[in-house]
Protein backbone atom coordinates (compact mmCIF):
# COMPACT_ATOMS: atom_id res chain seq x y z
CA UNK A 1 0.00 0.00 0.00
CA UNK A 2 1.41 3.39 -1.00
CA UNK A 3 2.25 5.84 1.78
CA UNK A 4 -0.18 8.77 1.89
CA UNK A 5 0.96 12.20 3.00
CA UNK A 6 -2.05 14.02 4.41
CA UNK A 7 -2.41 17.48 5.85
CA UNK A 8 -4.47 18.21 8.96
CA UNK A 9 -7.20 19.56 6.69
CA UNK A 10 -7.17 16.26 4.78
CA UNK A 11 -7.67 14.25 7.97
CA UNK A 12 -10.45 16.55 9.16
CA UNK A 13 -12.21 16.45 5.80
CA UNK A 14 -12.19 12.64 5.71
CA UNK A 15 -13.53 12.47 9.27
CA UNK A 16 -16.34 14.92 8.49
CA UNK A 17 -17.30 13.06 5.30
CA UNK A 18 -17.15 9.48 6.58
CA UNK A 19 -17.59 9.62 10.34
CA UNK A 20 -20.71 10.05 12.45
CA UNK A 21 -20.82 13.59 13.83
CA UNK A 22 -21.36 12.56 17.46
CA UNK A 23 -18.33 14.48 18.76
CA UNK A 24 -17.15 18.07 18.47
CA UNK A 25 -13.37 17.83 18.93
CA UNK A 26 -10.91 20.69 18.77
CA UNK A 27 -9.30 20.92 15.35
CA UNK A 28 -5.97 19.31 16.21
CA UNK A 29 -4.78 16.00 14.72
CA UNK A 30 -2.52 14.18 17.17
CA UNK A 31 0.07 11.67 16.06
CA UNK A 32 2.32 10.93 19.07
CA UNK A 33 2.32 11.12 22.85
CA UNK A 34 4.73 10.75 25.76
CA UNK A 35 4.03 11.52 29.40
CA UNK A 36 1.95 14.69 29.63
CA UNK A 37 2.84 15.78 26.09
CA UNK A 38 1.30 15.06 22.69
CA UNK A 39 2.41 16.11 19.22
CA UNK A 40 0.32 16.82 16.13
CA UNK A 41 1.07 15.68 12.60
CA UNK A 42 3.22 18.76 11.97
CA UNK A 43 5.32 18.13 15.08
CA UNK A 44 3.77 20.87 17.25
CA UNK A 45 3.82 19.97 20.95
CA UNK A 46 0.90 20.31 23.35
CA UNK A 47 0.44 19.72 27.06
CA UNK A 48 -2.53 17.36 27.46
CA UNK A 49 -4.86 18.60 30.21
CA UNK A 50 -7.66 16.12 29.48
CA UNK A 51 -5.87 12.74 29.71
CA UNK A 52 -8.47 11.12 27.42
CA UNK A 53 -11.09 11.79 30.10
CA UNK A 54 -8.74 10.25 32.71
CA UNK A 55 -7.94 7.12 30.71
CA UNK A 56 -4.23 7.99 30.51
CA UNK A 57 -3.62 8.82 34.17
CA UNK A 58 -0.24 7.08 33.90
CA UNK A 59 0.80 9.35 31.02
CA UNK A 60 0.84 8.70 27.30
CA UNK A 61 2.57 5.53 26.11
CA UNK A 62 4.00 4.58 29.49
CA UNK A 63 6.92 2.26 28.65
CA UNK A 64 6.20 -0.40 31.29
CA UNK A 65 2.57 -0.73 30.24
CA UNK A 66 3.55 -0.73 26.56
CA UNK A 67 6.06 -3.53 27.18
CA UNK A 68 3.42 -5.58 28.99
CA UNK A 69 1.06 -5.12 26.05
CA UNK A 70 3.67 -6.16 23.49
CA UNK A 71 4.87 -9.14 25.52
CA UNK A 72 1.37 -10.48 26.08
CA UNK A 73 0.39 -9.81 22.45
CA UNK A 74 3.19 -12.17 21.42
CA UNK A 75 1.90 -14.88 23.78
CA UNK A 76 -1.92 -14.92 23.79
CA UNK A 77 -4.55 -12.23 23.23
CA UNK A 78 -7.99 -13.82 23.43
CA UNK A 79 -9.49 -17.13 24.52
CA UNK A 80 -13.06 -16.02 25.37
CA UNK A 81 -14.36 -17.09 28.76
CA UNK A 82 -15.08 -20.57 27.38
CA UNK A 83 -11.57 -21.39 28.65
CA UNK A 84 -9.33 -20.14 31.45
CA UNK A 85 -6.24 -18.06 30.80
CA UNK A 86 -3.14 -17.47 32.92
CA UNK A 87 -3.68 -13.71 33.39
CA UNK A 88 -7.26 -13.52 34.68
CA UNK A 89 -6.71 -15.12 38.09
CA UNK A 90 -3.66 -12.93 38.70
CA UNK A 91 -5.64 -9.83 37.73
CA UNK A 92 -8.38 -10.84 40.17
CA UNK A 93 -5.88 -11.44 42.93
CA UNK A 94 -4.03 -8.17 42.49
CA UNK A 95 -7.03 -5.87 42.02
CA UNK A 96 -8.80 -7.40 45.03
CA UNK A 97 -5.73 -6.97 47.22
CA UNK A 98 -5.35 -3.36 46.13
CA UNK A 99 -9.01 -2.38 46.57
CA UNK A 100 -10.13 -4.80 49.32
CA UNK A 101 -12.78 -6.23 47.00
CA UNK A 102 -14.22 -9.74 47.31
CA UNK A 103 -15.37 -10.42 43.76
CA UNK A 104 -14.55 -8.99 40.34
CA UNK A 105 -16.48 -8.97 37.07
CA UNK A 106 -14.23 -7.85 34.17
CA UNK A 107 -15.77 -6.09 31.19
CA UNK A 108 -14.47 -3.76 28.46
CA UNK A 109 -15.98 -0.27 28.62
CA UNK A 110 -17.16 1.85 31.51
CA UNK A 111 -20.74 1.74 30.26
CA UNK A 112 -20.58 -2.06 30.27
CA UNK A 113 -19.46 -2.02 33.90
CA UNK A 114 -22.43 0.21 34.79
CA UNK A 115 -24.88 -2.02 32.92
CA UNK A 116 -23.38 -5.10 34.56
CA UNK A 117 -23.76 -3.60 38.02
CA UNK A 118 -27.40 -2.71 37.36
CA UNK A 119 -28.13 -6.26 36.19
CA UNK A 120 -26.40 -7.76 39.22
CA UNK A 121 -28.15 -5.60 41.83
CA UNK A 122 -31.54 -6.20 40.24
CA UNK A 123 -30.97 -9.95 40.39
CA UNK A 124 -29.76 -9.63 43.98
CA UNK A 125 -32.93 -7.66 44.76
CA UNK A 126 -35.16 -10.44 43.48
CA UNK A 127 -33.23 -13.42 44.83
CA UNK A 128 -31.93 -12.09 48.14
CA UNK A 129 -33.89 -8.98 49.18
CA UNK A 130 -37.23 -10.37 48.04
CA UNK A 131 -38.33 -7.58 45.70
CA UNK A 132 -41.37 -8.67 43.61
CA UNK A 133 -40.46 -9.72 40.05
CA UNK A 134 -40.05 -6.79 37.66
CA UNK A 135 -40.29 -4.15 40.42
CA UNK A 136 -36.63 -3.44 41.29
CA UNK A 137 -35.73 0.25 41.52
CA UNK A 138 -32.33 1.94 41.27
CA UNK A 139 -31.90 5.52 42.51
CA UNK A 140 -29.49 7.75 40.57
CA UNK A 141 -28.43 11.39 40.80
CA UNK A 142 -29.52 14.35 38.71
CA UNK A 143 -26.83 15.51 36.27
CA UNK A 144 -25.23 12.08 36.34
CA UNK A 145 -23.03 10.69 33.60
CA UNK A 146 -22.54 6.92 33.48
CA UNK A 147 -22.25 6.21 29.74
CA UNK A 148 -24.21 6.21 26.50
CA UNK A 149 -26.20 2.98 26.32
CA UNK A 150 -29.98 3.09 26.02
CA UNK A 151 -30.53 2.11 29.65
CA UNK A 152 -28.03 4.67 30.92
CA UNK A 153 -29.24 7.64 28.85
CA UNK A 154 -32.73 6.64 29.92
CA UNK A 155 -31.95 7.65 33.51
CA UNK A 156 -29.88 10.68 32.52
CA UNK A 157 -31.33 14.12 33.27
CA UNK A 158 -29.42 15.68 30.35
CA UNK A 159 -31.89 16.47 27.53
CA UNK A 160 -29.15 16.19 24.91
CA UNK A 161 -28.30 12.67 26.04
CA UNK A 162 -31.97 11.57 26.03
CA UNK A 163 -33.62 13.40 23.15
CA UNK A 164 -34.68 11.10 20.31
CA UNK A 165 -33.51 7.83 21.86
CA UNK A 166 -36.60 6.55 23.74
CA UNK A 167 -38.45 4.52 24.80
CA UNK A 168 -36.35 3.85 27.87
CA UNK A 169 -36.13 1.11 30.46
CA UNK A 170 -38.17 1.74 33.62
CA UNK A 171 -36.99 1.26 37.19
CA UNK A 172 -34.93 4.39 37.84
CA UNK A 173 -35.54 7.49 39.98
CA UNK A 174 -33.33 10.57 40.22
CA UNK A 175 -32.52 12.66 43.31
CA UNK A 176 -30.34 15.77 43.65
CA UNK A 177 -26.61 15.06 43.91
CA UNK A 178 -25.17 15.91 47.31
CA UNK A 179 -28.53 15.68 49.12
CA UNK A 180 -28.50 12.65 51.41
CA UNK A 181 -31.94 13.45 52.82
CA UNK A 182 -33.44 13.34 49.32
CA UNK A 183 -31.91 9.91 48.83
CA UNK A 184 -33.35 8.64 52.11
CA UNK A 185 -36.81 9.97 51.23
CA UNK A 186 -36.74 8.31 47.79
CA UNK A 187 -35.97 4.79 49.04
CA UNK A 188 -38.88 2.34 48.84
CA UNK A 189 -39.14 -1.38 49.71
CA UNK A 190 -38.30 -2.07 46.05
CA UNK A 191 -35.10 -0.01 46.01
CA UNK A 192 -32.13 -2.29 45.35
CA UNK A 193 -29.32 0.23 44.82
CA UNK A 194 -28.12 3.81 44.79
CA UNK A 195 -25.77 4.63 41.89
CA UNK A 196 -23.61 7.77 42.03
CA UNK A 197 -20.28 9.29 41.06
CA UNK A 198 -18.22 10.41 44.08
CA UNK A 199 -17.51 13.57 42.07
CA UNK A 200 -19.61 14.33 39.02
CA UNK A 201 -17.09 14.66 36.21
CA UNK A 202 -19.02 15.41 33.05
CA UNK A 203 -21.36 17.70 34.98
CA UNK A 204 -18.36 19.95 35.58
CA UNK A 205 -16.36 18.45 38.48
CA UNK A 206 -19.19 18.85 40.98
CA UNK A 207 -17.96 17.97 44.47
CA UNK A 208 -20.59 16.99 47.05
CA UNK A 209 -20.70 18.54 50.54
CA UNK A 210 -18.31 17.11 53.16
CA UNK A 211 -19.78 14.05 54.81
CA UNK A 212 -22.18 13.28 51.96
CA UNK A 213 -20.68 9.92 50.98
CA UNK A 214 -20.41 8.87 54.61
CA UNK A 215 -24.08 9.68 55.20
CA UNK A 216 -25.05 7.91 51.96
CA UNK A 217 -23.11 4.83 53.08
CA UNK A 218 -24.96 4.80 56.41
CA UNK A 219 -28.38 5.24 54.74
CA UNK A 220 -27.76 2.42 52.28
CA UNK A 221 -26.63 0.11 55.09
CA UNK A 222 -29.60 0.99 57.29
CA UNK A 223 -32.15 0.56 54.50
CA UNK A 224 -30.74 -2.59 52.88
CA UNK A 225 -29.75 -0.84 49.65
CA UNK A 226 -26.57 -1.56 47.70
CA UNK A 227 -24.27 1.43 47.21
CA UNK A 228 -22.73 1.56 43.72
CA UNK A 229 -20.00 4.16 43.21
CA UNK A 230 -18.98 4.88 39.62
CA UNK A 231 -15.23 5.53 39.92
CA UNK A 232 -14.55 5.06 36.23
CA UNK A 233 -13.35 8.66 35.98
CA UNK A 234 -12.62 9.55 39.62
CA UNK A 235 -10.79 6.34 40.46
CA UNK A 236 -7.26 5.06 40.04
CA UNK A 237 -5.47 8.08 41.46
CA UNK A 238 -7.25 10.95 39.75
CA UNK A 239 -8.38 12.67 42.97
CA UNK A 240 -5.20 12.02 44.95
CA UNK A 241 -6.40 8.69 46.37
CA UNK A 242 -6.60 5.32 44.67
CA UNK A 243 -10.40 5.65 44.84
CA UNK A 244 -12.29 8.86 45.54
CA UNK A 245 -14.45 7.04 48.10
CA UNK A 246 -11.35 6.89 50.32
CA UNK A 247 -11.56 10.65 51.01
CA UNK A 248 -14.46 9.91 53.36
CA UNK A 249 -13.35 6.47 54.46
CA UNK A 250 -16.25 4.59 52.89
CA UNK A 251 -16.43 1.37 50.91
CA UNK A 252 -19.13 0.89 48.31
CA UNK A 253 -20.85 -2.45 47.85
CA UNK A 254 -19.97 -2.19 44.18
CA UNK A 255 -17.22 0.04 42.81
CA UNK A 256 -16.86 0.54 39.06
CA UNK A 257 -13.46 1.17 37.49
CA UNK A 258 -12.26 1.51 33.91
CA UNK A 259 -10.46 4.13 31.80
CA UNK A 260 -7.04 4.29 33.52
CA UNK A 261 -7.29 0.60 34.42
CA UNK A 262 -5.27 0.02 31.25
CA UNK A 263 -3.38 3.30 31.16
CA UNK A 264 -5.06 4.07 27.86
CA UNK A 265 -3.66 1.05 26.02
CA UNK A 266 -6.64 -1.29 25.80
CA UNK A 267 -10.31 -1.27 26.82
CA UNK A 268 -10.91 -2.90 30.19
CA UNK A 269 -13.32 -2.15 33.01
CA UNK A 270 -14.40 -4.00 36.12
CA UNK A 271 -17.16 -4.27 38.67
CA UNK A 272 -15.56 -4.64 42.10
CA UNK A 273 -18.10 -6.10 44.47
CA UNK A 274 -18.92 -7.84 47.68
CA UNK A 275 -19.60 -11.55 47.32
CA UNK A 276 -23.31 -11.12 48.08
CA UNK A 277 -24.15 -9.26 44.85
CA UNK A 278 -21.90 -10.86 42.25
CA UNK A 279 -22.58 -14.23 43.85
CA UNK A 280 -26.06 -14.23 42.30
CA UNK A 281 -24.72 -14.47 38.74
CA UNK A 282 -24.67 -18.00 37.35
CA UNK A 283 -23.17 -19.40 34.11
CA UNK A 284 -24.96 -18.13 31.04
CA UNK A 285 -26.60 -15.14 32.77
CA UNK A 286 -24.00 -12.52 31.87
CA UNK A 287 -20.79 -12.31 29.89
CA UNK A 288 -18.58 -10.71 27.27
CA UNK A 289 -16.41 -12.27 24.59
CA UNK A 290 -13.55 -9.90 25.33
CA UNK A 291 -14.25 -9.42 29.06
CA UNK A 292 -11.31 -10.74 31.09
CA UNK A 293 -9.17 -11.50 28.04
CA UNK A 294 -5.47 -12.17 28.74
CA UNK A 295 -4.22 -9.11 26.87
CA UNK A 296 -6.43 -6.74 28.85
CA UNK A 297 -5.60 -8.43 32.15
CA UNK A 298 -1.84 -8.31 31.57
CA UNK A 299 -2.05 -4.62 30.66
CA UNK A 300 -4.27 -3.81 33.65
CA UNK A 301 -1.96 -5.59 36.09
CA UNK A 302 0.96 -3.47 34.97
CA UNK A 303 -1.11 -0.27 34.82
CA UNK A 304 -2.10 -0.73 38.46
CA UNK A 305 1.46 -1.49 39.56
CA UNK A 306 2.72 1.61 37.78
CA UNK A 307 0.23 3.83 39.61
CA UNK A 308 1.36 2.55 42.99
CA UNK A 309 5.06 1.87 42.51
CA UNK A 310 5.84 5.14 40.74
CA UNK A 311 4.07 7.33 43.30
CA UNK A 312 1.52 8.71 40.87
CA UNK A 313 -1.33 8.84 43.39
CA UNK A 314 0.65 10.93 45.88
CA UNK A 315 1.84 13.13 43.02
CA UNK A 316 -1.77 13.70 41.96
CA UNK A 317 -2.58 14.92 45.48
CA UNK A 318 0.42 17.25 45.71
CA UNK A 319 0.32 18.61 42.17
CA UNK A 320 -3.46 18.92 42.35
CA UNK A 321 -3.20 21.15 45.41
CA UNK A 322 -0.56 23.27 43.65
CA UNK A 323 -2.46 23.53 40.34
CA UNK A 324 -5.73 24.40 42.11
CA UNK A 325 -4.04 27.11 44.16
CA UNK A 326 -2.53 28.66 41.04
CA UNK A 327 -5.86 28.63 39.21
CA UNK A 328 -7.62 30.25 42.15
CA UNK A 329 -5.27 33.22 41.83
CA UNK A 330 -6.57 34.03 38.34
CA UNK A 331 -8.15 37.45 38.15
CA UNK A 332 -11.13 37.47 35.82
CA UNK A 333 -14.62 38.66 36.82
CA UNK A 334 -16.08 36.17 34.33
CA UNK A 335 -14.76 33.24 36.42
CA UNK A 336 -17.57 32.06 38.70
CA UNK A 337 -15.72 29.30 40.55
CA UNK A 338 -12.52 27.25 40.57
CA UNK A 339 -12.90 23.85 42.24
CA UNK A 340 -11.29 20.45 42.27
CA UNK A 341 -9.80 17.52 44.11
CA UNK A 342 -6.45 16.09 43.17
CA UNK A 343 -5.89 16.55 39.44
CA UNK A 344 -9.62 16.74 38.68
CA UNK A 345 -10.14 20.49 38.44
CA UNK A 346 -12.71 22.79 36.86
CA UNK A 347 -12.91 26.49 36.07
CA UNK A 348 -16.54 27.59 35.64
CA UNK A 349 -17.48 30.85 33.94
CA UNK A 350 -20.54 33.04 34.23
CA UNK A 351 -22.95 32.68 31.32
CA UNK A 352 -22.17 36.17 30.07
CA UNK A 353 -18.60 35.05 29.37
CA UNK A 354 -19.90 33.52 26.15
CA UNK A 355 -19.03 29.89 26.82
CA UNK A 356 -15.80 28.05 27.60
CA UNK A 357 -15.15 26.72 24.10
CA UNK A 358 -13.40 29.89 22.93
CA UNK A 359 -10.94 29.65 25.82
CA UNK A 360 -10.16 26.03 24.93
CA UNK A 361 -9.51 27.01 21.33
CA UNK A 362 -7.24 29.87 22.41
CA UNK A 363 -5.31 27.59 24.77
CA UNK A 364 -4.85 25.08 21.94
CA UNK A 365 -3.14 27.80 19.91
CA UNK A 366 -0.70 28.29 22.81
CA UNK A 367 0.07 24.58 23.14
CA UNK A 368 -2.33 23.44 25.87
CA UNK A 369 -5.20 21.02 25.24
CA UNK A 370 -8.33 20.98 27.40
CA UNK A 371 -12.04 20.65 26.74
CA UNK A 372 -15.19 22.45 27.76
CA UNK A 373 -17.98 20.60 29.52
CA UNK A 374 -21.58 21.75 29.93
CA UNK A 375 -20.78 24.85 27.87
CA UNK A 376 -19.46 27.12 30.63
CA UNK A 377 -16.81 24.99 32.34
CA UNK A 378 -13.23 23.99 31.46
CA UNK A 379 -11.93 20.81 33.03
CA UNK A 380 -8.20 20.54 33.73
CA UNK A 381 -7.16 16.91 34.25
CA UNK A 382 -3.57 16.27 33.14
CA UNK A 383 -1.86 12.89 33.51
CA UNK A 384 -0.84 12.14 37.08
CA UNK A 385 2.85 12.30 36.17
CA UNK A 386 2.76 16.07 35.70
CA UNK A 387 5.48 18.07 37.46
CA UNK A 388 5.45 21.46 39.17
CA UNK A 389 7.49 22.89 36.30
CA UNK A 390 4.96 21.65 33.75
CA UNK A 391 2.12 23.16 35.76
CA UNK A 392 4.01 26.47 35.78
CA UNK A 393 4.38 26.19 32.00
CA UNK A 394 0.65 25.55 31.70
CA UNK A 395 -0.23 28.43 34.03
CA UNK A 396 1.66 30.92 31.89
CA UNK A 397 -0.63 30.04 28.99
CA UNK A 398 -3.78 29.74 31.09
CA UNK A 399 -3.22 33.13 32.69
CA UNK A 400 -2.54 34.74 29.29
CA UNK A 401 -5.80 33.38 27.89
CA UNK A 402 -8.15 33.48 30.88
CA UNK A 403 -7.27 36.92 32.19
CA UNK A 404 -7.37 38.89 28.94
| Rounded distance between C-alpha atoms, residue 150 and residue 164, angstroms | 11
Per-residue pLDDT, 68: 98
pLDDT tens track for 70-90: 999 999 999 999 999 999 999
Which residue in 91, 123, 145, 194 is the catalytic one?
A: 145
CA distance 317 to 320: 5
pTM of the model: 0.97
What is the pLDDT, as a whole number, of residue 140? 98
Per-residue pLDDT, 5 = 83
349 given a catalytic annotation = no
Which pLDDT does position 271 carry in this prediction? 98
| Ranges of the chain with pLDDT below 50 | none
Catalytically annotated residue among 103, 259, 364, 371: 259
371 is catalytic: no
Residue 203 backbone zone (phi > 0: left; psi -120 to 50: alpha; other: beta): alpha
The pLDDT tens digits for 240-260 are 999 999 999 999 999 999 999
The CATH code belonging to domain 63-309 is: 3.40.640.10
For 253, counting Cβ atoms within 10 Å of its Cβ (0-12 exposed, 13-18 middle, 19+ buried), the class is buried
pLDDT in tens, 146-180: 999 999 999 999 999 999 999 999 999 999 999 99
φ/ψ of 45, rounded to 5, equals -100, 140
Q: Is there a shared CATH topology between the 8-61+311-402 domain and the 63-309 domain?
A: no
User: What confidence score (pLDDT) does residue 165 get?
Assistant: 96
Containing H/E element for 399?
Answer: helix 388-402
230 classed as catalytic: yes
pLDDT of residue 281: 97
**Domain residue extents for the chain:** 8-61+311-402, 63-309
Taking domain 8-61+311-402, whether its CATH number is 3.90.1150.10 is answered by yes
Q: Where are the beta strands (DSSP E) in 215-311?
A: 226-230, 254-257, 269-273
Amino acid sequence: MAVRHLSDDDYLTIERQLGAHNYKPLDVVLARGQGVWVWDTAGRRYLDCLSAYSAVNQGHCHPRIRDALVEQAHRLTLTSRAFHNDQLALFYEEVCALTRSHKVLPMNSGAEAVESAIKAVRKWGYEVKGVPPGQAEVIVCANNFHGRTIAIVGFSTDPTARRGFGPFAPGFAAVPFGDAEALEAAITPNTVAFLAEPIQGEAGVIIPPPGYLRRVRDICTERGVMLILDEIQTGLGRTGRLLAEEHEGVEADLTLIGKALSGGFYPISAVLSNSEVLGVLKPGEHGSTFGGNPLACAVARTALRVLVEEGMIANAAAMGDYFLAQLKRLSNPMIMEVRGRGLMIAVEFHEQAGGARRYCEALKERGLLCKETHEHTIRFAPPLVITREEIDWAMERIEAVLTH
